[in-house]
Amino acid sequence: ADAGFDLDAVAVINPPLSVVNISPEDGMAGVSVYTELQWQQGNGGLPDYYQLSFGTDNPPSNILNGMVLQTDSYLPELPLDFLTTYYWRVDAVNQFGMTTGSVWHFTTARAPDEDFETGDFSAFSWDFSGDMPWIISEEAARHGVFGAQSGPIGDNQTSSLILSAECQGFGKISFMKKTASDPSDVLEFYMNSVLMGSWGGEQPWTEHTYNTGPGPYTFEWRYVKDDASAQRTEDGVMIDFIYFPEFSDLPTVNAGQNQEICEGDTVFLHGLASNYTSLQWLTSGDGTFNNPSVLSPEYYHGDQDVEAGEVVLTLIAYGGEQAEDAMVVAINPLPGVPVQPQGDDIPGYNLGEYVYTIPPVTHAEAYYWEIMPTGIAEILVNGDTALHVDFNPYTGPAEIYVRAINACGESQWSESLTVYVDYIIGTRESHSLPVSVVPNPAREIIRILGSGSPGLLEIFSLDGQRRMALSSLEFGVPVDIRSLERGVYLLRFTQPENRFTVKLVK
């Protein structure tokens, strides 16, 4: 018979060599805190088991010190610490001996950018879309206490969680997701409206990573339920533990302190902003900016702003996102313009005090009266809606003006009241006796109607120049005024016992 041997009976009787193909690789950084330690047997004898040493010390021992494993992997029961260097070693053992492995190390990643541990969606500018918003739930946590869970929706409905941002350069986005739904109800992940992945059914927490580039991105996690017969009464999808690519810093903006101005003042703005690409000022009113695209423009209010009493000015900073801030400008109005004063238009300088009045003016705190020419009267009471005045000896026209005053300034002068100051024979009461000119207005002929002795008729222009005089004129006698130009005149009729002055319009 041929000589031979059975290969199945051949056994390697050497001790095992060091394990190979370790994961994480030696010196690796940014390792997930949920990483699993893995390796493969090396050449040499088959190992019967492995001894794992693991810790933050070197050589490792303070977490595991020679733990016996029959498998070629180990998953820590708790997540590792962030930004921590760990050391580990795997020794291969069989009945012929033990090979001590090398000491490897890796460093875990930083904490995720978003883990919803705020208990809300305030860490980033999250948006929602669909039929129901996403919620924060303790049942949705992969790490910590909280995670994000899709909103409770029915068949043919959706629930989306959305974040828009400006990415600085090339990077990655990673997140962990869990699905607990019917197979046809799925979680869809979109980047800039492009579907990147879709998962449904019962799936445990799994990490997913996608590459990103520079520029604006919109990330959307959308839960979609179809109209198939439901196999579950309660379902949903969850995400947690998100790492974003490096975002451009978000714009910040401060429109400045509220201001209070007077009508007619210019608003000098002093906004602050950072991390922006462009700026824009907006007004709630009808005013204008000299340059709405700079931080410190000037604002010129409009009539509607004054009428409203205030205007809201908003500074918007555009960048990866939009940020805005507003300030309020309170506008204190100038006083209104008084109407023409009212009072006796033919005062007698010999008859004492006269009073001229106006109605109250809106937004006025005081009033200032003036009589021209200067020096013809003593103002007894000034500053109110009534002017008390005693005329000095003077014969001729005078103009009475008034303007309103408040803390913001003065109004324009009112329309003047033209009066004719004269010496009046008799009392205030006799001065008020009826003497009339008919017709008035007149073009050619007038008559003086009244009673008493004949008198001297004089007609003056408003600047005090005498234009006509007739002595010993009796009441009712025609007076020819065709030589006068058209305008307003003062007609004075003097009797031994009285003197009357009236306006004449030609």
Q: Same domain, yes or no, for 134 and 231? A: yes
Q: How confident is the model at residue 1 (pLDDT cuts 50, 70, 90)?
A: very low
- Residue 60 is predicted with a pLDDT of 97
In a domain, 492, yes or no: yes
**CATH number for the domain including 184?**
2.60.120.200
In a domain, 113, yes or no: no
Tell me the per-residue pLDDT of 293-327, one tens digit each, with 9 for 90 and over: 999 999 999 999 999 999 999 999 998 678 999 99
pLDDT-based confidence at residue 230 (cuts at 50, 70, 90): low
Please check whether residues 148 and 223 belong to one and the same domain. yes
Q: Is the pLDDT of residue 431 over 90?
A: no
Same-domain check for residues 324 and 380: no
Per residue in 457-471, pLDDT (tens digit) is 999 887 778 999 999
Question: Rounded to whole angstroms, how far apart are CA atoms 159 and 235?
Answer: 12
Please determine, for residue 218, whether its predicted confidence score (pLDDT) is greater than 60: yes
- Domain end, chosen from 214, 243, 272, is at 243
Task: Label residue 9 by pLDDT band (50, 70, 90).
Answer: very low
Residue 372 and residue 391 share a domain: yes
- Say yes or no: 144 and 235 in one domain: yes
Domain final position from 243, 272, 288: 243
Q: Tell me if 1 is assigned to some domain.
A: no
Percent of the chain past pLDDT 90, that is, above it, reads 73
pLDDT of residue 24: 97
Residue 490 lies in a domain: yes
Name residue, tokens 């004492």: 352
> Pick from 211, 206, 226, 216: which is nearest to 318 by CA?
216
- My answer on whether 270 and 206 are in the same domain is no
Does 144 lie in the same domain as 239?
yes
Is the residue at 441 inside a domain?
yes
Q: Is the pLDDT of residue 253 over 70?
A: yes
Q: What is the pLDDT of residue 500?
A: 78
Same domain, 373 and 324: no
Which domain-ending residue is among 421, 454, 478? Answer: 421
pLDDT for 434 equals 59
- Per-residue pLDDT at 231: 57
Q: Is the pTM of this model over 0.75?
A: no
Give the rounded distance of the alpha carbon of 169 from its chain centre: 30
Query: 220 and 274: one domain?
Result: no
Does any domain span residue 248? Answer: no
Residue-wise DSSP of 190-258? EETTEEEEEEESEEEEEEEEEEE-SEEEEEEEEEE--SSPPS-SS-EEEEEEEEPPPBPPPPEEE----
Helix H or strand E segment including 368:
strand 366-372
Give me the domain span that covers residue 463. Answer: 432-505
Count of structural domains within the chain: 5
Q: Is 209 among the domain residues?
A: yes
Cα–Cα distance for residue pair 223/158, rounded to 1 Å: 6
Say yes or no: 169 and 227 in one domain: yes
Q: CB neighbours (10 Å) of residue 41?
A: 18
Tens of pLDDT, residues 380-395: 989 899 999 999 999 8
The reply to whether 11 falls in a domain is no
214 and 147 fall within a common domain: yes
